[in-house]
Amino acid sequence: MRKTKRFISLRLKFTLFLSVFLIAILVVTGQVIISKLRPYLEIELKKKGEALVSNLAGNAAESVLIGDEMLLASYLDKVKDDSTVVFAGIYNSKGELLANTDIKLLKGAPDTSDSIILSFDKNARFKIIKVTAPLIASKKKIGYAVVGFSDEEIQKAVANIRKIISTITLLVLLVGILFSIFSIGYSLRAVNLLSEGVKKIGAGDLDFKVEVKTGDELEKFADAFNEMTSNLSKAEAEKLEKEKLQHELKIAQQIQMSLLPSSVPELKGFEIAAYYRSAKDVGGDYYDFIKLSDTKLGVAVADVSGKGVPAALGMATIRSILRANVKSSINLRDVMLNTSGMFKADTSRGMFVTLSFLTLDASNLKAAFSDAGHLPLILVKADGKTEQIKTTGIAMGLVSQGVFEGSLEVKEFGVNKGDLIVLYTDGVNEAMNAQREEYGFDRLIQTSSDSRTLTAKEVLEVLKTSIQGFTGDTQQSDDMTIITIRCV
């Protein structure tokens, strides 16, 4: 049985938070007020005491001269009428107590300092502030007046302030709680609508819209929520479309790969190896091996403009046209001319293809080569000398048939034991590393020359390793095809 998860409502959380916050603010404010007020009240009490003791000293000076103790006592009684006065006394210049209000508190020699007596009794609840003033007669000191004041009134004032602050705190807290309950309840209506929207989306209803008209951040959040659901709906449709496209691309890739040779042919006196990799799921590179006779083989390498499905369709077109023309004629020039004319007629404007076609004759070790705007063939002789064989043809589909025929050229050359032939597309020499540097013809030729003594398959592996080591993790930008042929 699934255990029910317990939740604490936002209303309760917000109310508790606001209550703690208000209490903390008011308590701190009260403490600050009291801490600032107490020193001020003590200063005022001291000023009051200084004025009172100065007045007492002025009045008592003459009575001390004439020795009128009764008059001194009357002055002290008037001072004692002040509720803050705890004790008072008059001393002569010898430190003898002449008059007092409380002999216990004034026993002993007079203390003329202004120090605060923390307690004059073990059970005293208040501090005593003692103030003294000299008795002056004929510009001479003839004694001292001493008065002790209690800070009871200060403490009562502080206690009253505490009560007021406590009352205000309770009132503010009550109002705050009522306000929080009302405001959070109002806001939670929008939150509940959003919660309902999340549940609807979770159930798969991406068309659900939340209607919140609060004119604040919650309305903005609801608008963002609705925009999110709209984007999710679009994303779901795009996902389905993408999955459909991926499925179609997968089928196209399977069809394309089925059009490429499943294995390399055997030709007496020659080793042959081939490698192909597309930059996308479906590429535009094409290579083929076409048997011309028992001793003669045609090798084609082409690169259709563009990438993806359009390039793959162009690749399928050039394959079918080329194979059809090879069946009707084994003359290399005728094959190239007829293939160009049919490709231009059968494809849309703007699509073109570069094509290299090599024929090998095992009976006399002769080769013929022609290319239509493609890359030069690399021939590495057994002694290490290299040659790039290039003809003047133009890419098929770019120009009129007459112009193409005028540019077409066929070259024948001999092949000896130990010679290496490399055919490729521009995805090889234009392969880039992270610094945007190309692999280049020089590196391709040098690597081919260095591995000329290896088998055709081993040469192919060396070239693949060299290209991968150069490009590293850089994403491949173009289709790549390599064919290595070695005369043995």
- How many domains does the chain divide into? 3
Higher pLDDT, 101 or 192: 101
Co-location of 415 and 478 in the same domain: yes
The DSSP code sequence of 301-356 is: EEEESS-HHHHHHHHHHHHHHHHHHHHH---HHHHHHHHHHHHHHHS-TT--EEEE
Co-location of 331 and 363 in the same domain: yes
Per-residue model confidence (pLDDT) at position 367: 96
Q: Which of 94-108, 241-255, 369-383 has the highest mean pLDDT?
A: 369-383
Co-location of 255 and 271 in the same domain: no
Range of the domain at 143: 10-155
Q: Which two tokens stand for residue 463?
A: 């070239």
Residue 154 confidence class, pLDDT cut points 50, 70, 90: confident
Q: Which two tokens stand for residue 186?
A: 């109002």
Our measurement of the distance from residue 32's CA atom to the centroid of its chain's CA atoms, rounded to an integer in Å, reads: 44
The DSSP code sequence of 137-150 is: ETTEEEEEEEEEEE
- Tell which residue, 463, 456, 457, 459, has the closest CA to residue 488: 456
CB 136 within 8 A of CB 57: yes
Our measurement of the distance from residue 114's CA atom to the centroid of its chain's CA atoms, rounded to an integer in Å, reads: 67
CB 393 within 8 A of CB 408: yes
Residue 446 confidence class, pLDDT cut points 50, 70, 90: very high
Q: Single out the residue in 197, 231, 259 at which a domain terminates.
A: 259
Is 149 among the domain residues?
A: yes
Co-location of 247 and 270 in the same domain: no
Is 314 among the domain residues?
A: yes
Co-location of 228 and 374 in the same domain: no
pLDDT at position 362 over 50: yes
pLDDT at position 2 over 60: no
Residue 268 — φ and ψ, nearest 5°?
-55, 130
CB burial readout 174-204, b (16+ within 10 A) else e: eebeeebeeebeebbebeeebeebeebbeee
Mean pLDDT of 226-241: 79
Q: Single out the residue in 218, 244, 259 at which a domain terminates.
A: 259
Strand-strand pairing, 353-361 and 366-372 = antiparallel
Query: What CATH number does the domain containing 76 carry?
Result: 3.30.450.20
Co-location of 356 and 221 in the same domain: no
Mean pLDDT of 239-258: 77
pLDDT at position 287 over 50: yes
The one-letter amino acid code at 16 reads L
Q: Which two tokens stand for residue 98?
A: 């002449």
Co-location of 369 and 307 in the same domain: yes
Per-residue model confidence (pLDDT) at position 218: 66
The DSSP code sequence of 89-118 is: EEEETTS-EEEES-TTTS-SS---S-PEES
pLDDT tens readout for residues 298-351 = 999 999 887 767 777 888 889 999 999 998 877 999 999 999 999 998 887 778
Is 197 among the domain residues?
A: no
Per-residue model confidence (pLDDT) at position 67: 82
Is 190 among the domain residues?
A: no
Residue the block writes with tokens 């060396």: 462
Co-location of 231 and 325 in the same domain: no
Q: Which of 75-89, 113-127, 303-317 has the highest mean pLDDT?
A: 75-89
Co-location of 324 and 422 in the same domain: yes
Mean pLDDT of 364-371: 95
Sign of CA dihedral 241, 242, 246, 247: negative
Query: What CATH number does the domain containing 441 carry?
Result: 3.60.40.10
Is 290 among the domain residues?
A: yes
Co-location of 442 and 479 in the same domain: yes
Q: Which of 185-194, 409-418, 471-480 has the lowest mean pLDDT?
A: 185-194
pLDDT at position 448 over 70: yes
Co-location of 368 and 275 in the same domain: yes
Co-location of 271 and 245 in the same domain: no
Residue 121 confidence class, pLDDT cut points 50, 70, 90: very low
Q: Single out the residue in 155, 183, 217 at which a domain terminates.
A: 155
Is 64 among the domain residues?
A: yes
Residue the block writes with tokens 């162009």: 314
CB burial readout 103-127, b (16+ within 10 A) else e: eebbeeebeeeeeeeeebeeeeebb
DSSP 260: S
Is 182 among the domain residues?
A: no
- Tell which residue, 416, 479, 425, 428, has the closest CA to residue 452: 416
Residue 5 confidence class, pLDDT cut points 50, 70, 90: low
Is 89 among the domain residues?
A: yes
Strand-strand pairing, 377-380 and 420-424 = antiparallel
Residue 38 — φ and ψ, nearest 5°?
-60, -50
> In Å, how far are 226, 346, 476 from 28, measured between CA atoms?
44, 89, 68
